[in-house]
Amino acid sequence: MTTETILRVDNVTKHFGGLIALDKVSFDINKTEILGIIGPNGAGKSTMLGVISGYYPATSGKVFFAERDITRLPTHKIIELGIGRNFQASTLFMSLSVSENLFYGFHLSYKLPIWKNILRLPSAGKEEEELKQRGIQILDKMGLGIVKNEITRNLPHGYQRILGVCIALATNPKLLLLDEPMTGMNQNEIQTMLQLVRGIRDSGITIAMIEHNMTAVMSLCDRIVVLDHGQKIAEGLPREIQTNEQVIEAYLGKK
């Protein structure tokens, strides 16, 4: 099996004032794997995703995406390069319908120049129609086809979480960062989400995922990185992590 690195985190440190959220963390994400990032509360997992996607500038260290240094790029540029992300809380356009949410997500997919779009030329209308269709396709694939005309605010929590992933997919990512996609879901919904995440990976998209649900992480992830107090304390296959002394200590305390 060839392992090609898609994203390299190199010695990243992030300070929030006096608080050290991340302390010299390094790891790689390989192409088309599902990488789990786990750790106790406040370990710096979400900060890590924030640094990768450019929401927080790193204090020191570098992040490389497909061999390109993206550490100092603004978020929208990083998204444009092919990193999609969802949010911990349901961050959606609540007042819009589900299909409109997806349609808004295609901001980067317009190929025609902007003035053609503003003048509403037939070619621009056709392009918009195609994007809408692509949105419906994504929704169908993710099992949201039946609620595509609902107002997002009225959706149950599980659907909203899935919609968050759908919108991230609309930006055409090569690497998808998922921040706790399964929080607050029931068992049934978690199973659906597991299937969906596998489906996304099988379509050729690399996934890095923060998740607290250990059963889900262990069954889904190819590799796992464990953070604690801003430091990487372990990295390896799920079964290695399960028996790692340091990891058990971080979660349960010293014996």
Partner 1 sequence: MKQLFLRHARLFSFIIAVIICALIPLFVKSPYYISLLVVTIVNAALSMTFIMMLRTGLISMCVAAFWGIGAYASAVLTINAHLSFWLSLPLSAIITAAFALIIGYVIIRNAGFAFVIMTTVIGMLFVVAIGSISALNNYNGISNIPAPNTIDLPFLPAIIFDSKVAFYYLALVIFVIVILVMNAIYLSKVGRAWNAIGLNPRLAVSLGIDVFRYRLLSFVITSAIAGLIGSFYASYQGFIIPTAFNLFPKSIYLMVYAILGGVEYATLGPLIGSAILTFFPEFVSMTQEISIIIIGALLVLLIIFLPKGLLSLLHPKTAFAPWLKKGQHKNKIMPVSERPGEAKKI
For residues 39 and 230, give the distance between their C-alpha atoms in angstroms, rounded to a whole number: 9
Question: Residue 114 Cβ, how far from partner 1 at the closest point, in Å?
Answer: 6
Residue in the structure block whose two tokens are 């690497």 = 175
| Complete DSSP assignment for 12-47 | EEEEETTEEEEEEEEEEEETT-EEEEE-STTSSHHH
Q: Does 184 bind partner 1 (CB under 8 A)?
A: no
Q: Does 236 bind partner 1 (CB under 8 A)?
A: no
User: Angle formed by the axes of helices 98-105 and 122-141, to 10°?
Assistant: 120
Q: Does 205 bind partner 1 (CB under 8 A)?
A: no
Question: Residue 220 Cβ, how far from partner 1 at the closest point, in Å?
Answer: 17
Conformational region of residue 11, where left means phi above 0, alpha means psi within -120 to 50, and beta covers everything else = left
Burial of 187 (0-12, 13-18, 19+ CB in 10 A): exposed
Q: Does 186 bind partner 1 (CB under 8 A)?
A: yes
Question: Residue 86 Cβ, how far from partner 1 at the closest point, in Å?
Answer: 8
137 φ/ψ angles, rounded to the nearest 5 degrees? -60, -45
Of 40 and 158, the one with the shorter C-beta distance to partner 1 is 158
Number of residues that bind partner 1 (CB under 8 A): 50
Of 85 and 223, the one with the shorter C-beta distance to partner 1 is 85
Query: Strand 83-85 relative to strand 175-179: parallel, antiparallel, unpaired?
Result: parallel
Which 94-123 residues touch partner 1, going by CB under 8 A?
Answer: 94-96, 103-105, 107-108, 110, 114, 117-120
Of 1 and 118, the one with the shorter C-beta distance to partner 1 is 118
Which 124-163 residues touch partner 1, going by CB under 8 A?
Answer: 143-144, 146-147, 153-156, 158-159, 162
Question: Residue 172 Cβ, how far from partner 1 at the closest point, in Å?
Answer: 9
Burial of 96 (0-12, 13-18, 19+ CB in 10 A): middle
Structure tokens at 219: 């069954």
Of 22 and 155, the one with the shorter C-beta distance to partner 1 is 155
Of 81 and 233, the one with the shorter C-beta distance to partner 1 is 81
Question: Residue 72 Cβ, how far from partner 1 at the closest point, in Å?
Answer: 16
Contact status, residue 3 vs residue 223, Cβ threshold 8 Å: no
Q: How far is CA 7 from CA 22, 109, 254, in A?
A: 17, 23, 34
Q: Does 85 bind partner 1 (CB under 8 A)?
A: yes
Contact footprint for partner 1 (CB under 8 A):
53, 55, 74-76, 79-80, 84-87, 91-96, 103-105, 107-108, 110, 114, 117-120, 143-144, 146-147, 153-156, 158-159, 162, 167-168, 170-171, 186, 188-189, 191-193, 195
